[in-house]
Structure 1
Amino acid sequence: MKTTYIQLSLSAVLLLSIYSCKKGEATATQYEASATADSAAVMVSDSVSSAATMSVKEKQFIKTADVNMEVKDVYETTISIEKSVQDLGGFVTHSNLHSNVVSEDTYNTSSDEAMLVKKYQTENTMQVRVPTVRLGELLTLINDKKLFLNSRSINAEDVTSSIKYAELEGKRIKKTGENISQLKTNKDKVKMGNDNMSEENLQQLANLNVTDNLKYSTVDIYIKEPKIRIAEIAITNTKNIDNKYKFNFIYDAKNAFVEGFYLIQKIAVGLITIWPVLLIMAVIIYFIRRRKSIQKPNQSISE
């Protein structure tokens, strides 16, 4: 009996040990699975966006992105982004870098020099296109340049059904063309043929645009500097220059003498021009005086 009890006790201890080992192995397995899940979560959180790198079997997406952020130096960031786009196999379709002048003041520092002080803020609106498979890389590179991210939107438009519909439309247009070719030649056939060909061309153009948008993603980028910059530009003291040459007595007196001489000439020429009027006036005055001189002796005789 005692021997049987001892055997049962040993069996129980052995079973407990095996259970503990199994439980420990299960716990370790659960921890490893949890750690793997955590690592995957970290990788997802570190990525720019799942929409930028999303790939679904039997689905096709046109991907676009819009980024609005503040950077330390707009010009340097613009150059960096343009280089990154080129390295990724993309290209820049639009870049409008400009400075908004907040104020502009001129301060005279000496009789000949002055300082132009401009307060301005630089910004740039860009549009770039990059291979869709590398969209995530570009967004990561752009994200590294930010001081503050105002907004970012990424859009993945599912165009699978549209592509399928375009294929069906292509077959329909082709079939219509075959049917038209079997008709008798007349004006209506020519018109239908032209219309069908025009529709086919438009369909091909739409297919090309979809193919291009699938291959290349469009990214609109707006960057600006968070603070106002100040530019100090050395210039000439224009006010002092104006005062220096505003009045010259000798020069102005000489010009006044010459202009007075020209004025006399103009008056003489003007008088010569109106000589008929002057002659008529002289004749009138002569007759008036002569009449007065005749009237005076007559008045004396009558008295």
Structure 2
Amino acid sequence: MGVALLLLAAFACAKSGENAEAAEEAKTLASSSAASTTNDQGRQFIRTADMKFKVKDVAQSTYAIENTVQKFGGFVTHTNLQSVVSQHKETQVSPDSTLQTTKFTVENNLTFRVPNHRLDTVVKSIAKQVDYLDFRVIKAEDASLQLLANNMAQHRTDAHRDRMQNAIDKQPRKLNDIANSENDLLDKQETADNTKLESLSLKDKVAYSTVTLALYQNEKVRQELVANEKSVNAYRPHIGLQIWDSFKTGWFILEGILAFIAQLWSLILLALIGIFLFRKYSRKAKPAL
């Protein structure tokens, strides 16, 4: 009894150690310094993560990931949970039933955004769902110089636009010159607006990281026994009823013929009278021998 308890305890410890090791391995695979904001030191990084991995159950993992994203202030922008059928087979097991066998894989392509400083935490939380990691790509693109360049360009454009505006307002010009100046001013304003929009887009990408996940699970088999639809022959009457219906149909045809003949009584009467008169006069006209 004591030996059995020791073996059971050893097995439990080994199993616990395996689970802990698997969890730590998944965590290590998912974690990345590129996802951490600890050493940014004033730089502004656009962080993106792209991962593909197998899970035990795609639907349950999807719900867990969506809850995690919401918990850390993020939001889902795209999710496509679906079953991909690889094989479908129908086998008739009896005259009135068929066995349908379907092999399919459940998968989901998920895209969400989370605050930049929460990316590392979210990625580590997602690692708990990983059963087998296909790949993980995390990128950190420094956008500081691009934001600075956009800011400088916007200042230059704004200053040039203000000078043009003052020149147009103060100096009297011809109508054509004013129109050309106004068009040039509109072009400068459009350039300034585009630069501002680009800067806002970069700041949004810096503030919220984009994560794309591809989840899948082992192939499943679904079998369902369904009833067959009865053919037309199943509703045909028995031979005795068919013979009786044939007799009735023949009688109806005979009735129709008699009714049709009855409708021609006047023609038949004229034909009989004609035959009678023909025979009568043909006898009189015949010479006596």
Q: Secondary structure at the match of 2:137?
A: strand
CA RMSD of superposed structures (Å): 3.1
Deviation (angstroms), 1:88: 0.9
2:226 corresponds to: 235
User: Contact 1:110 / 1:237 at 8 angstroms: preserved in 2?
Assistant: no
1:71 corresponds to: 55
2:191 corresponds to: 199
User: Contact 1:66 / 1:219 at 8 angstroms: preserved in 2?
Assistant: yes
1:131 corresponds to: 115
Q: How does 1:49-60 map to 2 (within 5 A)?
A: 49-54=32-37, 55-60=39-44
2:100 matches 1:116 = yes
2:76 matches 1:92 = yes
User: Contact 2:45 / 2:140 at 8 angstroms: preserved in 1?
Assistant: yes
| Distance (whole Å) between structure 2 residues aligned to residue 59 and residue 166 of structure 1 | 16
Of 217, 220, 230, 2:212 maps to 220
2:150 matches 1:166 = yes
Deviation (angstroms), 1:245: 3.9
Q: How does 1:1-303 map to 2 (within 5 A)?
A: 48-54=31-37, 55-184=39-168, 186-225=178-217, 227-238=218-229, 241-242=230-231, 245=234, 247-248=236-237
CA 103–244 in structure 1, closer or farther in 2 if over 3 Å, else same: farther
Q: Secondary structure at the match of 1:182?
A: helix
User: Contact 2:79 / 2:109 at 8 angstroms: preserved in 1?
Assistant: yes
Deviation (angstroms), 1:175: 0.6
| Distance (whole Å) between structure 2 residues aligned to residue 248 and residue 92 of structure 1 | 62
Q: Secondary structure at the match of 1:200?
A: helix
Q: Secondary structure at the match of 1:78?
A: helix
1:10 corresponds to: none
Q: Secondary structure at the match of 1:58?
A: coil
CA 46–124 in structure 1, closer or farther in 2 if over 3 Å, else same: closer
| Distance (whole Å) between structure 1 residues aligned to residue 102 and residue 31 of structure 2 | 38
CA 244–136 in structure 1, closer or farther in 2 if over 3 Å, else same: farther
Q: Secondary structure at the match of 1:57?
A: coil
Deviation (angstroms), 1:102: 1.4
User: Contact 2:150 / 2:196 at 8 angstroms: preserved in 1?
Assistant: no
Deviation (angstroms), 1:109: 4.5
User: Contact 2:88 / 2:102 at 8 angstroms: preserved in 1?
Assistant: yes
Q: Secondary structure at the match of 1:213?
A: helix
1:2-23 CA-partner distances (Å, limit 9, x unpaired): xxxxxxxxxxxxxxxxxxxxxx
Deviation (angstroms), 1:202: 1.0
**TM-score scaled by length of structure 1:** 0.64
Q: Secondary structure at the match of 1:178?
A: helix
Letter in 2 for 1:202: N
| Distance (whole Å) between structure 1 residues aligned to residue 91 and residue 235 of structure 2 | 21
Whichever of the two has the greater Rg, that structure is 1
User: In the comparison of the two structures, how many residue pairs are matched?
Assistant: 216
CA 47–97 in structure 1, closer or farther in 2 if over 3 Å, else same: closer
Q: Which runs of 5+ in 1 are unaligned?
A: 1-43, 269-303
CA 164–242 in structure 1, closer or farther in 2 if over 3 Å, else same: same
| Distance (whole Å) between structure 2 residues aligned to residue 191 and residue 245 of structure 1 | 83
| Distance (whole Å) between structure 1 residues aligned to residue 127 and residue 28 of structure 2 | 14
CA 161–74 in structure 1, closer or farther in 2 if over 3 Å, else same: same
Q: Which runs of 5+ in 2 are unaligned?
A: 1-26, 170-177, 261-289
| Distance (whole Å) between structure 2 residues aligned to residue 83 and residue 248 of structure 1 | 62
| Distance (whole Å) between structure 1 residues aligned to residue 185 and residue 236 of structure 2 | 83
**TM-score scaled by length of structure 2:** 0.67
CA 141–246 in structure 1, closer or farther in 2 if over 3 Å, else same: farther
Deviation (angstroms), 1:45: 5.9
Letter in 2 for 1:189: S
